[in-house]
Structure 1
């Protein structure tokens, strides 16, 4: 009676017929999803450009994290239903979640260690340790509360508010997509900002800090609504009961394996000695669907690479869309945008048209089509990658060295390097690299040849200068990778006769002495402004327009004219070409993948719900989330085991694997028989519990009597044989 009074009292706090408490739950979910997807949007770039991991290792850690996020919901469901209840589980794990986000933000503060040079492993140790602890806590938090929040929201409605409950779930789903969309747009913008005390770098602390703040807000909002919630106490976890029933059935079947009557229609029928037939029938229905889930992880193996491989692919593309410039990690917003467009289009237009064509487009057929579309998306990604590869520079192999030359003399010179003959005008550099596999001879004009030895796997620039009586050269190391995150690596060679102070906007090159090369400075896409000053106070301000991912060496000649139009006398040597394949070419692969998601994921959830018993829908939900986790584990296995040199080949491999799995799933779907859980439950629910117990007892007694009878007969037969043998002996004697 007390519980009923409590519930009716809570129900009276309503707004437009809805419990006021759901406002706090929806806001909590929006902030939490913003926090999770915002952090995840920049995560793989954080691994690659901040922690300095390579593409493969960055992808491995990314998918390990995502897999953990989808493994922990099982733990959250068990804790909530068996021990703490949904409310306390959400509170405690949200605290863990928020702490993890804060630790991630702290781990990205580049000034907490001395990494002003190149970030050695010792410098990175603290960052890596904090990052791993933060990601582990986030995985525990987001996964643990995942199965609780939506169900807790549903608990706030009374039985007569079925319509309002249905609307709530639509609003709840909308808040998830809104949080995802906004965070995927905003956090890459925050990451692109410059921050730091001693050195200015990409602002990952801000990109992680804002999601951390949103998670704290989510926790506070949820706690504020505490007094309005209907809090259902834990009543025992059906998931635990589900596994216990299966375990007992297997154990009982194994125990009676030697019995003559060890045959039953289904192996789960061996659990009847302890569990009623209704529960066993429900377990059978769930197992039937879970068996169908076996091929599904392969879909998620491809789907979740949007945040890893596809984001890394975007870093080698041109993101200039005219009115706006898209960051590589912002391309992930295409997915939620397309979802918001395509879900109603598919439901309102596509499916009705298929129905009018008298085609039996069953849920399992829809899921098969979704898997095939995802495979096509990876074929499209492979085709894009092939075009990108044509534009990428050929970097030296581990046994090679690459060299280009700059002539700082005031006359045309002829150079012979190895077997290559090169002619350079005054204050000019060649635009292409020459490749050598061993030390080579360098001869300038008629001067004696000199043997040049360079590090293996390196790119180098050799600057040639004229002394009074002979030529000399200086060697400088060039970058051997595309500049970070689509920026442009720019440096200057000072051929002027005095020290020059050079800046690029607010970034300092510092003082560059004569006949020396400046450091590389990464400048963003656009038209940055450069300032060159000499000791006499003269100044040159000029600008250049850059795309994405290029590298240039700017040559300042000895007769550099300060003042107006000074930039025209600066010679440009292109070390790495800018990205020329536009990011818009990724849209077809995103479209195909999102189409597959709409047909596969939404249908799969509906199918699972329709085929699940009334009290085991959470079990199938946990099984569905488990397929996502396994899919991310598959990425780790394939990426590590395949070791393919070309990225396009890996895309084709994943597409081929999904097509194979798609065929297997189609065969399994063909033999699947749809069931109506309500009818099955009604059939087995007609027997009263006492009648069931009596029936089970009678069956057990009957089975024991049969086994005892068989045992007596075997003993009797054995005694008869011994008597006959004894008689035979007596007759013989």
Structure 2
């Protein structure tokens, strides 16, 4: 009865431990909810909110924990059992190799070669209490260590399970960042909120397994701890197989890296008129119609980017059709491909330029897209003198563009007095490029001037991550000093940039925006948006099955595993086996570090399948051990005879195996 009560308490402790492991998921959910209720308190960064909510919850949890202390039986710590086990093992090994004594049935018995019961207080106390001068306390302790070793051998797959389980917060999170987080219009399930799924499922699955699944299964097969662990381990492998197939879908929208020593090159024809441009670089030539570009999109099976060896090139552009003054002419643009990256070469009505671009998808995990704006409209086209003073204070206005702060705001046609309101909670979309050299830089381009090129200075506004929605671009002036605080509408002056009105419809895409004067004699801008990396197309809901399977695996493997280890360890070894169980978590994380640093593959899907295969191999070994190696041990027997020294009993190892064994194999 004592053991069953102990195991029941252990089950409760295990459940509480699992819930404690998922606290971060609850905190994340509450943190995100609080932010949605009152976004950032007017700040661009929510550090006080992000750290304040967990801090308050931790204080509440600590108070509740201390308040419940009276319900616990507080036993003072005794000896250090772990240290004693290490000492016995060390002495046994030393005696085995350094002393020439007769053979023993088990190498641990060599510890008794140098053991003297007369000098051991535990042995003396045992002999006095049992009135048996041959009684030896260390003999029983060696038996307990042997049981511990058997349990440790059966714990071999546990670290690898943790190596899979702990990737929920790393690999699976990264996978979710590259997925479509939109569930319904206006509702998103963000990657960091997916961790809450595991916590919710734990709360549901524990009673489900305890009161429904286990009783039903017991009517069909005999349930044992090792059988449940075997099924749980295999389910963990299945979860990673499912995750691998999901990743194959995610990979369809991830950019490819250029071959070593090469760069990918895209051409852009930004003309809106009937103007075709023939681009030629090296031996490669492509003809692009108006408002078109070369793209790589695995979803639509378009693989158009050119892999060009690194070096300097002269790109020839031939203009055919209605090309606003440069039709039927040839122009050349010198480009340098110096990095294994992606470059785009653009021909616009204002001029031609090239730029290296970023192909990394947004990493904030907020369901955003990433875009940059290249502004080629010269300052001479800005009619408002005040706006020119914000970013056109020096140089020739005919060859220099506005070089100052701009912002894009969520479009609100009803906001007439303040068309750009950074704090409008109903349309909370405001992104500003504020700092020169950090947020925006000069972009050299060759301005068309009849049949000739003139060197000019555009402005490249660096990539920023934006939510889906409709936007307008504005020249902006801050009336007060800059800070991380989102300004109020009264604290900024804005002036719309003509013709830059666009909509971001998807999440996870990477886009390049260009705005240029629509011909030398035009007062209008021509605005284009180009897809560099396609948006995410796999719904984040596709992760639900792998979370369900892994959570079920967690119930079967971790709760049952700790119960098995605790019940199968000798009473004196229970604290040791719990410590070793906790150590397996660290070993599992170490496995992840080693495999990650080895960098066997850059394909996440391949890595997920490899983890699944390795887990299957580990579990096959575990099943074989369960069948051919391990027998259950029952420590509820209270009739065990007093252990005696091998020196007085013919060195029979059976003297310290006076426990009732269950002979039936586990699988």
Please indicate the TM-score interval, normalised by the length of the shorter structure. Answer: 0.5 to 0.7
**Structure 1 position 321 matched with structure 2 position 183:** yes
Residue 667 of structure 1, CA deviation = 0.9
The alignment partner of 2:288 has SS state of: strand
Which of the residues 97, 106, 110 maps onto 1:266? Answer: 106
TM-score of the two chains, using structure 2 as the length reference: 0.68
What is the match of residue 84 of structure 1? none
**Structure 1 position 464 matched with structure 2 position 421:** no
Bigger relative CO (Cα 8 Å, ≥ 6 apart):
2
Which of the residues 644, 659, 680 maps onto 2:601? Answer: 644
Asked if 1 retains the 8 angstrom alpha-carbon contact of 2:230 and 2:557, the reply is yes
Q: 5 Å matches for 1:10-49?
A: none
What is the match of residue 391 of structure 1? 253
What is the match of residue 554 of structure 1? 513
**Greater mean deviation of Cα atoms: 546-555 or 371-380:** 546-555
What is the match of residue 392 of structure 2? none
Gap change, CA 1:353 and 1:206, over 3 Å in 2: same
Q: 5 Å matches for 1:470-481?
A: 472-481=351-360
Gap change, CA 1:615 and 1:398, over 3 Å in 2: same
Residue 311 of structure 1, CA deviation = 0.8
Q: Residue by residue, what CA displacement relative to the aligned partner does 1:13-61 show, whole Å, maximum 9, x if unpaired? A: xxxxxxxxxxxxxxxxxxxxxxxxxxxxxxxxxxxxxxxxxxxxxxxxx
Gap change, CA 1:641 and 1:337, over 3 Å in 2: same
Q: 5 Å matches for 1:354-365?
A: 354-357=217-220, 359-365=221-227
Q: 5 Å matches for 1:650-665?
A: 650-665=607-622
Gap change, CA 1:365 and 1:395, over 3 Å in 2: same
The alignment partner of 1:435 has SS state of: strand
What is the match of residue 131 of structure 1? none
The 1-side partners of 2:24 and 2:464 are apart by 30
Gap change, CA 1:167 and 1:653, over 3 Å in 2: closer
Gap change, CA 1:584 and 1:533, over 3 Å in 2: same
**Structure 1 position 631 matched with structure 2 position 474:** no
Asked if 1 retains the 8 angstrom alpha-carbon contact of 2:333 and 2:353, the reply is no
The alignment partner of 1:280 has SS state of: helix
Asked if 2 retains the 8 angstrom alpha-carbon contact of 1:488 and 1:546, the reply is no
What is the match of residue 334 of structure 1? 197
**Structure 1 position 675 matched with structure 2 position 538:** no
Residue 580 of structure 1, CA deviation = 0.7
The 1-side partners of 2:97 and 2:494 are apart by 94
| Unmatched segments (≥5 aa) in structure 2 | 117-136, 297-304, 319-328, 383-387, 389-401, 410-428, 443-455, 477-492, 652-667
Asked if 2 retains the 8 angstrom alpha-carbon contact of 1:408 and 1:557, the reply is no
Residue 313 of structure 1, CA deviation = 1.1
TM-score of the two chains, using structure 1 as the length reference: 0.62
Asked if 2 retains the 8 angstrom alpha-carbon contact of 1:381 and 1:586, the reply is yes
The 2-side partners of 1:206 and 1:290 are apart by 44
The 2-side partners of 1:276 and 1:435 are apart by 73
Asked if 2 retains the 8 angstrom alpha-carbon contact of 1:509 and 1:518, the reply is no
Structure (1 or 2) with the greater helix fraction:
1
- Root mean square deviation of aligned Cα: 4.0
Q: Residue by residue, what CA displacement relative to the aligned partner does 1:190-248 show, whole Å, maximum 9, x if unpaired? A: 89998799x945x4665345435544555566667889986543322222223223333
Gap change, CA 1:163 and 1:408, over 3 Å in 2: closer
| Unmatched segments (≥5 aa) in structure 1 | 1-160, 561-565, 702-733
What is the match of residue 247 of structure 1? 90
Which of the residues 452, 474, 497 maps onto 2:335? Answer: 452
What is the match of residue 413 of structure 2? none
Q: Residue by residue, what CA displacement relative to the aligned partner does 1:421-455 show, whole Å, maximum 9, x if unpaired? A: 22332x66555544322444422223254553222
Q: Residue by residue, what CA displacement relative to the aligned partner does 1:556-597 show, whole Å, maximum 9, x if unpaired? A: 35369xxxxx99x74322222111111111122222211211
Q: 5 Å matches for 1:180-579?
A: 180-187=24-31, 200=44, 203=46, 206-208=49-51, 210-212=53-55, 214-215=57-58, 232-256=75-99, 258-259=100-101, 262-272=102-112, 273-274=115-116, 275-322=137-184, 324-357=187-220, 359-401=221-263, 402-407=265-270, 412-418=275-281, 419-425=284-290, 431=295, 433-438=305-310, 439-445=312-318, 446-447=329-330, 449-465=332-348, 472-485=351-364, 486-496=367-377, 497-498=381-382, 501-504=406-409, 505-509=429-433, 516-527=458-469, 529-533=471-475, 537=495, 542=501, 544-556=503-515, 558=517, 570-579=527-536
Gap change, CA 1:638 and 1:188, over 3 Å in 2: farther
Residue 631 of structure 1, CA deviation = 1.5
Gap change, CA 1:633 and 1:536, over 3 Å in 2: closer
The 1-side partners of 2:547 and 2:6 are apart by 36
The 2-side partners of 1:536 and 1:698 are apart by 97
Residue 508 of structure 1, CA deviation = 1.1
Residue 599 of structure 1, CA deviation = 1.0
Structure (1 or 2) with the greater strand fraction:
2
Residue 669 of structure 1, CA deviation = 0.7
Residue 186 of structure 1, CA deviation = 3.3
The 1-side partners of 2:180 and 2:54 are apart by 28
Residue 362 of structure 1, CA deviation = 1.9
Q: Residue by residue, what CA displacement relative to the aligned partner does 1:587-642 show, whole Å, maximum 9, x if unpaired? A: 22222211211111111111112212223211111111122221211122222235
Asked if 2 retains the 8 angstrom alpha-carbon contact of 1:408 and 1:495, the reply is no
The 1-side partners of 2:510 and 2:584 are apart by 43
The 1-side partners of 2:460 and 2:13 are apart by 59
The 2-side partners of 1:164 and 1:662 are apart by 26
The alignment partner of 1:456 has SS state of: coil
Asked if 1 retains the 8 angstrom alpha-carbon contact of 2:11 and 2:559, the reply is no
The 2-side partners of 1:372 and 1:538 are apart by 60
What is the match of residue 153 of structure 1? none
Gap change, CA 1:234 and 1:360, over 3 Å in 2: closer
Gap change, CA 1:354 and 1:196, over 3 Å in 2: closer
Asked if 2 retains the 8 angstrom alpha-carbon contact of 1:409 and 1:464, the reply is no
Q: 5 Å matches for 1:107-186?
A: 169=13, 172=16, 176=20, 179-186=23-30
Residue 321 of structure 1, CA deviation = 1.2
